[in-house]
Structure 1
Amino acid sequence: MSEHSQEQKNAARPRVNSPEPFAARPRPSVPAHVIRDDAEAIATARRLAVEFAREASQRDREGWLPIEEVDAYSQSGLWGITVPRAYGGADVSYATVAEVIRLIAAADSSIAQITQNHLALVAHITLDASEAQKQELFGLVLHGYRFGNAFSEKDSRNVAAFETRLVEDGNDVVVNGKKFYTTGALLAHLVPIVAVDAQGKGFLVFADRDAPGLTVTNDWSSFGQRITASGSVTIDNVRVAKSRVVPVDAFDRPTAAGPISQIIQAAIDAGIAQGALDETVAFLRTKSRAWIDSGKEQATEDPFTVAAIGTLALRLHASEALLERAGHHIDEALRRPGDETVTAAALATAEAKVLTTEVAIEATNRLFELAGTRSTLQEHNLDRYWRNARVHTLHDPVRWKYFHIGNYVLNGVNPPRHPWN
């Protein structure tokens, strides 16, 4: 492509923070590839990560939405890897899911986060949907359909309080409300809405992205995770067939729903840490200078720098080990659901979340300390790692992970069941 053609393409790319509603993306014209096993999933993630890394800095700097990248991502089959084998999916280990997300996040953590709610929703379909709903919705996933989300509400009293309402009307439900933090909804084909009925019972309402009355606005203005398509959704008398309404029952009994949501978040943070460490090493090898007191010629010979890199690598590897361990506990909780297995999965995932949060913040801070002042120049855009880590690790407070782990070890109290445990 010529330089002029590339400039024209870049000028036409949709950007973040537009006040205008964003039109729905076309549904897949050809079926997505179907991944068959764990090894293929990881190999595919590695290949895509190389592609996604190429323009990651430019996308962040310019605010380009990753439309082509997300299309390639879902068409690769990686969005269908947790569909059960009985419905045509690979049903991979959650240790593999964590590794896939970690690899993608190391390349571009915004793209990795766009997957998060989709995979959590696939788990909810497995746990709560009827057989007919599983047949339909899993079929759409394997075809390449993407789920966004319309869960959280910015002005409610807490994250689990919902003002969005549904009422039955013949064979449909009608939904009204306002949502925020709607990661992925902008680029989705279906937007599952969390709504409650008159009795306060929660449901997932799988609305078409282009349903009349459903408006998605790209008004996400955070300084980090800038291109996650995480704006707002307005739901104005949106009508959806009852066949697309799934009850939220997974937290009323011991299930792996919470740990599944959390392990994906932890894997994103581990990926950010990996990306930051890779950038630090590359900068030290090619651009940084040794400090004068070290008596060394190269920054890579500075003993304090060498030790700091070793410490980061150690902590990153420890977080990866905890991610893998948590994934296997989730697998066991899915095979044998019960208080014991679900609690083990929740606690193992909480431990991984703590460590991945800490190493993401540390690695993105230390990048500048070790690489030096020149690493802060705008031309490098390395602050995107810190910005992304700082914003994404706010998803839920890690201080409560310490409490739940300690309360179980000391007092035998199981962590509460909800999407943040």
Structure 2
Amino acid sequence: MNTAVKAHASLTYLRAATAQEEALVARFQPIFDRIAEGNVERERHRTFPYEQVQWLKDADFALLRIPEAFGGWGASLEQTFYLLALLAEADANVAHVWRNHLAFIEDRLNAAPSPTNERWLQRFKDREFVGGGWTEANNGTYANIQTRVTQEEGLYKVTGAKFYATGSLYADWLDVIGKGEDGSLITTLVSRHQPGVVLSDDWPGFGQRTTASGSVTYQEAVAHEGDVFPASERVVYQGHFYQTALLAVLTGITRAIQRDGIASLRSRGRNYPQGLDPVPALDAQLLQVIGEVSARVFSTEAALRQAARSLDRIAAAHAAGDLALRDQRAIAGEVSVAQAQLAIVDGVLYAATHVFGALGASATSELSALDRHWRNARTLASHNPVAYKARILGDYLVNGKSPVSSIARLGRGGQGN
């Protein structure tokens, strides 16, 4: 390593990826398979997967992106999101739980080395978990944020209410955004285990029902120096990361639809009189449906990898200290992630709807819970305004208007994340 590279590397905790994807899959796929075994029953009975999340904590799934030099697995973002998609194939709820935790780890890896950040790296290795707390409750917006962060006797105190607090019931820490006393936006890492934090399992959505995405109220919840960061200093591709994590879960759902569609068609015992073969698994029209679903799996996986690679390029420029290149690549990343969002949402919803065309009325049985794939996909696809993406992309491609809004620069890409 030459002197210039050494100097640049010291700017952050980011390092070039060293992990082999096959080795990562070999390590974690057996755990994913165990998680998949109880997925249908958890969906049917709304059983929270505390044990399954703990399996992943114990296996150090959280350390995917942490470089080997700092005790992690050294994965790229492309590898990380692929593993997240494999987890989502096993259980989309469990995969979604990890979104905020992995995003905060990425944020700390992008930060400058310091005793504070060394402490956070150790917390990650100690398997402490971070949940979400950005979206304002009661229809609040970032423009009119009501959560307040004040200072008193050397401590920070957070008061407010949040919704879409994904992963909160599994967490040790909650990543909360609020306004400081000077009106600036501040993100505060608040320990969940204190009287000032009240978690409510009141998520009303018809999908992603065990992700702990309900509400949290904070009443002078205490945070300490080193656990408070200006929102403007968070990782520049944070919004891209959060969105790509959703796309990884949607990709995993598409894979699960194909898996369950194939199994259900193979086990189907009779066909309709109009069928081309009395054996459903030999009916060319039904096989065509599965083939079309497989094409959606192919397109969603390709789109996810392309989006993730664009984030790896942003991270590389940031690690090298080339801020101009980083910001240029952030725009390219915005385009890539938005295009992937359009492709993946279209693909997963097509697959979740049309797979029933190959399976007959028995596929609607609650015992098989195949409806979970559409419910979960539709819920995740509603998190960000997909209706606007094509227009924004067209305006950029035709007129050169930046696709990165001021809200996206803040880090989450809009309400409802």
TM range (shorter): 0.7 to 0.9
User: Partner residue of 2:368?
Assistant: 380
Could you tell me the percent identity over the aligned residues? 26
CA contact (8 A) 2:18 2:68 kept: no
Please tell me whether residue 220 in structure 1 is matched to residue 213 in structure 2: no
Match of 1:289 in 2: 270
Instruction: Report the TM-score when normalising by structure 1.
Output: 0.86
Query: Is the CA contact (8 Å cut-off) linking 1:182 and 1:233 kept in structure 2?
Result: yes
Which amino acid counterpart does residue 233 of structure 1 have in structure 2?
Answer: V
**CA shift for structure 1 position 301:** 2.5
SS of equivalent residue, structure 1 residue 294: coil
Aligned partner of 1:123 among 106, 114, 123: 106
CA distance, structure 2, for counterparts of residue 201 and residue 274 of structure 1: 42
Tell me whether 1:358 sits opposite 2:346 in the alignment.
yes
Map 1:343-354 onto structure 2 (within 5 A).
343-354=331-342
- Report the equivalent of 2:412: 419
Q: Name the residue aligned to 1:68.
A: 51
Please give the alpha-carbon distance, in whole angstroms, between the structure 1 residues aligned to 2:20 and 2:239: 22
TM-score by length of 2: 0.87
- Whether 1:56 and 2:39 are equivalent positions in the alignment is yes
One of 281, 290, 307 as aligned partner of 1:326: 307
- Aligned counterparts of 2:390 and 2:211: Cα–Cα separation in 1: 28
1:132 paired residue among 94, 115, 130: 115
- 1:230 corresponds in structure 2 to 213
Partner of 1:402: 390
Which of the numbers 165, 168, 184 marks the counterpart of 1:182? 165
Deviations 1:189-224 (A, max 9, x none): 111211111333222211111022111121223211
Partner SS state of residue 230, structure 1: coil
How has the CA–CA distance of structure 1 residues 216 and 159 changed in structure 2, closer, same or farther, with 3 Å as cutoff? same
> Within the alignment, does 1:305 sit opposite 2:286 as a pair?
yes
Match among 249, 253, 276 for residue 232 of structure 2: 249
Aligned to 1:274: 255
How far the C-alpha of 1:135 sits from its partner, in A, is: 0.5
Given that residues 199 and 215 in structure 2 are in contact (C-alpha distance below 8 angstroms), is that contact kept between their aligned partners in structure 1? Answer: yes
**Aligned partner letter, 1:269:** L
Paired AA for residue 103 in structure 2:
A
Please state how far the C-alpha of 1:128 moved relative to its aligned partner: 4.7
Quick check: 1:127–1:250 contact (8 Å CA) kept in 2? no
Distance 1:128 1:194, change over 3 A: farther
Q: Work out whether residues 202 and 248 of structure 1, in 8 Å CA contact, stay in contact via their aligned partners in 2.
A: yes
Residue pair 1:288, 1:371 contacting (<8 A) in 2 also: no
Alpha-carbon RMSD across the aligned residues, in angstroms, is 2.0
Tell me the distance in 1 between the aligned counterparts of 2:18 and 2:57: 15
Task: Work out the CA distance in 2 between the residues paired with 1:250 and 1:332.
Answer: 19
Residue 185 of structure 2 corresponds to 202
Question: Match of 2:141, SS?
Answer: coil
Q: 1:161 to 1:128 in 2, by over 3 A?
A: farther
Structure 2 match to 1:37: 19
TM-superposed deviation, 1:58: 0.5
SS in 2 for 1:390: helix
- Cα deviation for residue 182 of structure 1 reads 0.6
Amino acid at match of 1:420: G
Contact 1:166-1:175 at 8 Å conserved across structures: yes
Partner residue of 2:245 out of 264, 267, 270: 264
**Aligned pair in 2 of structure 1 residues 278, 209: CA closer, same or farther (>3 Å)?**
same
In the TM superposition, what is the alpha-carbon distance from 1:297 to its structure 2 partner?
A: 2.0
Q: Map 1:65-144; keep pairs closer than 5 Å.
A: 65-128=48-111, 131-144=114-127
Deviations 1:243-268 (A, max 9, x none): 211221247xx922221111111010
Question: Retained in 2: the 8 A contact 1:166–1:173?
Answer: yes
Consecutive unaligned residues of structure 2, counting only runs of 5 or more, are: 1-16, 319-325
The amino acid across from 1:378 in the alignment is E
**CA distance change for structure 1 residues 160 and 303 in 2, over 3 Å: closer, same or farther?**
farther
Conserved 8 A contact 2:290-2:355: no
The verdict on how the C-alpha distance between 1:160 and 1:227 changes in structure 2, with shifts beyond 3 A counting, is farther
- AA at the equivalent of 1:256: Y
Match of 2:358? Answer: 370
How far apart are the structure 2 equivalents of 1:90 and 1:400? 37
Q: Cα 1:155–1:288, aligned 2, differ >3 Å: closer, same or farther?
A: farther
Larger mean CA deviation between 163-172 and 192-201 belongs to 192-201
Cα distance between partner residues in 1 of 2:240 and 2:20: 20
1:300-349 Cα deviation digits (max 9, x unpaired): 22222222222221122112112112211111111114232111122112
How many residue pairs match? The answer is: 385
Q: Which residue of 2 aligns with 1:152?
A: 135
8 Å CA contact retained: 1:267, 1:356: no
Q: 221-230 vs 195-204, which deviates more? A: 195-204
